[in-house]
């Protein structure tokens, strides 16, 4: 029996014994003549899964007949179907998936076509033949889905977010356990769930009960348990100093969503402000507001935005907005005319900026690093996400380090806020390690001996 066949048998469920996995997703229909036979073959697995208390979801490709698939799923006792199909269906639960860039509005948001989180080899600063021009993140380029989960939670009203992505095909050797934990973390930071997908080597190894494979699987399980135990962190409010205002839809969707993606990749602290809610939403704590959409907003919102600048903030707009105040000569970046306006600044683009790399980079510089709330040292290839508890008495900084060279180097985290203490949590370690504190002017630094692929620094007053 081949590994793939083995995974279709009830014996495969023994792998899940003691793990936090509570749902099994099986390929259910591909729109081919073999679907019915395939579904019959899966019946014992589905029955065994239900006996173990697992939910079973059938994946239906967009080309398959969703009604037919639902009918067979109901007979087989599946709990739901998952699909990218937009075909309407009543009477059976369907978890709808859409590509990363597509907006959805639902309690459940499924994201498909997502990249495997990690460092892309497209850009690196120190190689002779490697181009360093990788956009505003600065090299190296890192793929991440955390931003997309955040969008689902904040813009699409999702209570449940599933993200589907597979291990990189080009990898020539088995993925490390830490890579799987990073994949879990990148999704879980904002409360999403990765539909775990194993690389062929690990699948084969588990089918053969190899100890190395079981060890990797054990670490994945400990990672899942960790994020389940700390699920409260996913409800922490992201710290944001740059407000990004857009309707995030229609013609503005690509630019505005991609800016969120890019701001996340450079670990910028931003807040998502949907244009329809911008009038009611307080701008407290924001140092700058980036208005993305090409069409100018209505007079009330326009007035609010100008007032924000007049009272000390920085308003960043597309071209065509009324210039107010005194223009600053030689202002940076050169793509903007920048004016002193009241206590703050107004930055009006000279021309339409359609490149999200450029706009995200410029927005961060117009916000200014003087307002950074957190800075990392010796953290090349590390993505961070900073959130605060509801009463702001504690916070968490997620650190996903994709560059193992730096995992052996002490890492320093600086916070503008003078947190009294910090503890580093690492999946599987049980206890959190207290981080050494050193006062800074302003703020405070915490020194971490090493950070493996993922760690969460919990800070408190």
Partner 1 sequence: MSRRSEQSGHGATRREFLAGSTAVLGLGLGRLVPLAGAAPAATVSVAKCDSYSSAELVRSLDRMFDQLGGLGRLVKGRTVAIKLNMTGVGGFRLGTARQGETYWVHPRVIGAVVHLLDRAGARRVRLLESAYATAMPLEEFMYKSGWEASDLARAGRRVEFENTNWLGRAREYSRFPVPGRPLLFPSYLLNHSFEDCDTFVSLAKLKEHITAGITLSMKNCFGNIPTTVYGDHVPEDEPADEPRSGREGVFHQGARQPSRPAAPEVDPASPRDAGYRIPRVVVDLCAARPVDLAVVDGIDTMSGSEGPWGLGERCHPGVLLAGTNCVNTDAVGTAIMGYDPMASRGTKPFETCDSFLELAEEAGLGSRDLSRIEVAGTPIREARFDFAPLKRGRREYRSWRPDPEEH
**Positions in 106-125 near partner 1 (CB under 8 A):** 116, 118-119, 121, 124-125
Residue 127 contacts partner 1 per CB under 8 A: yes
**Positions in 65-94 near partner 1 (CB under 8 A):** none
Residue with smaller CB distance to partner 1, 2 or 126: 126
**Is residue 380 within 8 Å of residue 401, measured between CB atoms?**
no
| 55-87 residues labelled b (16+ CB within 10 A) or e (exposed) | ebbbbbbeebebeebbebbeebebbbbbbbbee
Helix axes 200-207, 211-229, angle to 10 degrees: 110
**Positions in 220-239 near partner 1 (CB under 8 A):** none
**Is residue 143 within 8 Å of residue 417, measured between CB atoms?**
no
Q: Looking at 266-316, list the stretches that DSSP marks H as alpha helix, in order from N- to C-terminal side.
A: 275-278, 299-310
**Is residue 79 within 8 Å of residue 57, measured between CB atoms?**
yes
Question: How far is residue 387's CA from residue 367's CA, in Å, rounded to a whole number?
Answer: 19
**Is residue 252 within 8 Å of residue 213, measured between CB atoms?**
no
Residue with smaller CB distance to partner 1, 274 or 445: 445
Residue 323 contacts partner 1 per CB under 8 A: no
SS3 74: helix
Q: Pick one of 86, 280, 370, 391: the residue that binds partner 1 (CB under 8 A).
A: 370
Closest CA to 68 of 95, 39, 42: 39
Residue 376 contacts partner 1 per CB under 8 A: yes
**Positions in 324-343 near partner 1 (CB under 8 A):** 330, 332
Residue 377 contacts partner 1 per CB under 8 A: yes
Question: How far is residue 70's CA from residue 67's CA, in Å, rounded to a whole number?
Answer: 5
Mask for 33-52, x = binds partner 1 (CB under 8 A): --------------------
Q: Are strands 382-388 and 394-401 parallel, antiparallel or unpaired?
A: antiparallel
399: left (phi over 0), alpha (psi -120 to 50) or beta: beta
**Is residue 305 within 8 Å of residue 316, measured between CB atoms?**
no
Least Å distance, CB 173 to partner 1, is 6
> At CA 459, angle to CA 119 and CA 245, rounded to 5?
60
Residue with smaller CB distance to partner 1, 242 or 245: 242
Beta-bridged to residue 111, according to DSSP, are 98, 163
**Is residue 296 within 8 Å of residue 304, measured between CB atoms?**
no
Q: What are phi and psi of 179, to 5 degrees?
A: -65, -40
Q: Pick one of 56, 158, 175, 374: the residue that binds partner 1 (CB under 8 A).
A: 175
Closest CA to 449 of 414, 403, 415, 411: 411
Least Å distance, CB 377 to partner 1, is 5
Residue 410 contacts partner 1 per CB under 8 A: yes
Question: How far is residue 227's CA from residue 233's CA, in Å, rounded to a whole number?
Answer: 9
Give the HSE-up count for residue 318: Cα atoms under 13 Å, Cβ half-sphere: 19
Q: What are phi and psi of 318, to 5 degrees?
A: -70, 175
Mask for 241-280, x = binds partner 1 (CB under 8 A): ----------------------------------------
Query: Which range in 3-11, 247-255, 277-285, 398-406 contacts partner 1 by CB under 8 A?
Result: 398-406
Residue with smaller CB distance to partner 1, 169 or 211: 169
Mask for 182-211, x = binds partner 1 (CB under 8 A): x-----------------------------
Mask for 137-156, x = binds partner 1 (CB under 8 A): -x-x----------------
With CB under 8 A, what is the number of residues at the site for partner 1?
53
Least Å distance, CB 151 to partner 1, is 24
Least Å distance, CB 380 to partner 1, is 7
Residue 131 contacts partner 1 per CB under 8 A: yes
Residue 168 contacts partner 1 per CB under 8 A: yes
Residues that bind partner 1 (CB under 8 A): 116, 118-119, 121, 124-128, 130-133, 138, 140, 167-168, 171-173, 175-176, 179, 182, 330, 332, 365, 368-370, 372, 375-381, 402-405, 409-410, 412, 414, 436, 438, 440-442, 445, 447
């Amino acid at each position: 029996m081949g590994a793939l066949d083995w995974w279709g048998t009830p014996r495969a469920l023994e792998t899940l014994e003691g793990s936090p996995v509570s749902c099994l997703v099986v390929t259910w229909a591909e729109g081919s003549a073999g679907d019915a036979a395939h579904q019959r073959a899966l019946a014992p697995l589905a029955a065994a899964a239900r006996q173990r208390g697992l939910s079973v979801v059938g994946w239906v490709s967009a080309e398959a007949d969703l009604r037919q698939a639902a009918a067979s799923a109901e007979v087989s006792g599946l709990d739901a179907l998952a699909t990218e199909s937009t075909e309407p269906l009543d009477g059976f639960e369907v978890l709808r998936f859409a590509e990363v860039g597509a907006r959805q509005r639902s309690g459940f948001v499924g994201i498909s076509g997502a990249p495997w989180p990690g460092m892309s080899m497209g850009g690196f600063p120190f190689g002779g033949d490697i181009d360093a021009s990788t956009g505003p993140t600065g090299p190296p380029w890192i793929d991440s889905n955390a931003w997309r989960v955040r969008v689902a939670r904040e813009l699409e009203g999702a209570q449940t977010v599933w993200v589907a992505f597979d291990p990189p095909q080009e990898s020539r050797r088995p993925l490390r356990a830490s890579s799987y934990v990073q994949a879990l973390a990148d999704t879980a930071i904002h409360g999403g769930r990765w539909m775990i997908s194993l690389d062929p080597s690990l699948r084969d190894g588990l089918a053969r009960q190899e100890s190395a494979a079981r060890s990797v699987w054990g670490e994945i399980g400990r990672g899942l348990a960790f994020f389940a135990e700390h699920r409260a962190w996913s409800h922490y409010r992201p710290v944001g100093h740059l407000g990004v205002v857009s309707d995030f839809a229609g013609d503005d969707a690509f630019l505005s969503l991609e800016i969120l993606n890019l701001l996340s990749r450079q670990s910028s602290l931003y807040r998502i402000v949907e244009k329809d809610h911008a009038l009611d939403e307080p701008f407290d704590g924001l140092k700058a507001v980036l208005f993305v959409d090409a069409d100018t907003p209505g007079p009330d919102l326009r007035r609010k935005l100008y007032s924000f600048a007049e009272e000390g903030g920085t308003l960043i707009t597309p071209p065509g907005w009324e210039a107010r105040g005194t223009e600053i000569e030689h202002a940076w970046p050169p793509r903007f005319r920048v004016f002193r306006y009241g206590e703050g600044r107004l930055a009006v683009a000279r021309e339409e900026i359609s490149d999200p790399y450029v706009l995200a980079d410029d927005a961060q510089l117009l916000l200014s690093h003087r307002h950074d709330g957190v800075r990392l040292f010796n953290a090349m290839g590390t993505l961070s996400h900073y959130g605060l508890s509801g009463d702001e008495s504690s916070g968490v900084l997620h650190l996903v380090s994709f560059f193992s060279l730096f995992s052996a180097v002490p890492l320093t985290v600086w916070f503008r806020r003078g947190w009294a203490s910090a503890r580093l949590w690492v999946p599987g370690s049980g206890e959190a390690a207290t981080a050494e504190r050193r006062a800074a002017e302003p703020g405070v630094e915490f020194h971490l001996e090493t950070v493996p692929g993922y760690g969460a620094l919990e800070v408190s007053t």
